[in-house]
């Protein structure tokens, strides 16, 4: 376990309540001094994991490292990437770890973990698979940090400047319901 002096690294963590998030939180709590509310003047690391909220720039700026675990590949910043991948009949899907900045799914990409899409994939099935892959990526990246190693870098860029919104997701899901209703089962 990496420690500064006699205290653990300070982590600020944002995540939704879910069984997968609970596993990430358990790992973080064993290895960091974790805060779930912004109460300290500085943090060693900010972790955004399965988090649907925008983190203010002022909070990001208080952290030595600020990471987001985006449960979609770089082609799909924002929300709704699962639906878009199924709508586009993509062969591959991925999860993305990136540095946080003031824009949504915009910071420098650290790593993309790819996996094959199944031809019979439902939206919910893909969502669950992406959450599991994101947890694997979380463990891998956190272990690199705890071992005081350099974070990886990659050549991937974001697929578009403006992230997909909930309105975009609504439009795509309506189109999918017309042409592939089975993906909602």
Residues in the chain: 185
Q: Is 1 a residue whose pLDDT tops 50? A: no
Q: Once rounded to an integer, what is the mean pLDDT over residues 91-110?
A: 96
The per-residue pLDDT for range 121-168, each reduced to its tens digit, is: 999 999 999 999 999 999 999 999 999 999 999 999 999 888 999 999
Q: Tell me the two tokens of residue 99.
A: 């540095």
The per-residue pLDDT for range 52-77, each reduced to its tens digit, is: 889 999 999 999 999 999 999 999 99
Q: Once rounded to an integer, what is the mean pLDDT over residues 8-22?
A: 92
Query: Among the CATH numbers 3.40.190.10, 3.40.50.12230, 1.20.20.10, 3.30.720.210, which is that of 3-184?
Result: 3.40.50.12230
pLDDT computed for residue 161 by the predictor: 87
pLDDT computed for residue 20 by the predictor: 94
pTM beyond 0.75: yes
Q: Are 98 and 67 in contact (CB under 8 A)?
A: yes
Q: Once rounded to an integer, what is the mean pLDDT over residues 115-119?
A: 93
- Is the pLDDT higher at 8 or at 81? 81
Task: Report which of 109, 117, 47 is spatially closest to residue 77, judged by C-alpha positions.
Answer: 109
Q: What percent of the chain has pLDDT over 90?
A: 85
pLDDT computed for residue 6 by the predictor: 42
The helix/strand/coil state of 37 is coil
CA distance 40 to 12: 9
DSSP state of 164: B
Q: pLDDT class for 7, splitting at 50, 70, 90?
A: low
Q: Where are the domains of the chain?
A: 3-184
CA distance 18 to 93: 22
Q: Is 5 a residue whose pLDDT tops 80? A: no
Q: Tell me the two tokens of residue 101.
A: 């900045």
pLDDT computed for residue 52 by the predictor: 85
pLDDT computed for residue 3 by the predictor: 42
Q: Is 82 a residue whose pLDDT tops 80? A: yes
Q: Once rounded to an integer, what is the mean pLDDT over residues 88-117?
A: 96
Within 10 Å of residue 3's Cβ, how many Cβ atoms?
11
- For 30, phi then psi, to 5°, come to -75, -25
pLDDT computed for residue 185 by the predictor: 83
């Amino acid at each position: 376990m990496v420690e500064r002096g006699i205290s653990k690294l300070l982590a600020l963590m944002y995540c939704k309540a879910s069984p997968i998030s609970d596993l990430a939180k358990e790992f973080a709590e064993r290895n960091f001094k974790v805060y779930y509310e912004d109460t300290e003047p500085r943090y060693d690391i900010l972790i955004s994991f399965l988090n649907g909220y925008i983190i203010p720039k002022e909070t990001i700026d208080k952290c030595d490292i600020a990471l987001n675990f985006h449960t979609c590949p770089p082609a799909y910043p924002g929300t709704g990437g699962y639906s878009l991948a199924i709508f586009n009949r993509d062969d591959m899907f991925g999860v993305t770890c990136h540095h946080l900045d003031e824009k949504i799914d915009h910071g420098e990409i650290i790593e993309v973990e790819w996996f094959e899409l199944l031809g019979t994939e439902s939206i919910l099935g893909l969502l669950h698979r992406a959450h599991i892959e994101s947890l694997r990526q979380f463990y891998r990246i956190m272990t690199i940090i705890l071992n005081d190693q350099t974070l990886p870098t990659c050549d991937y860029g974001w697929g578009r400047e403006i992230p997909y919104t909930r309105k975009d997701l609504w439009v795509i899901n309506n189109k999918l319901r017309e042409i592939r209703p089975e993906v909602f089962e």
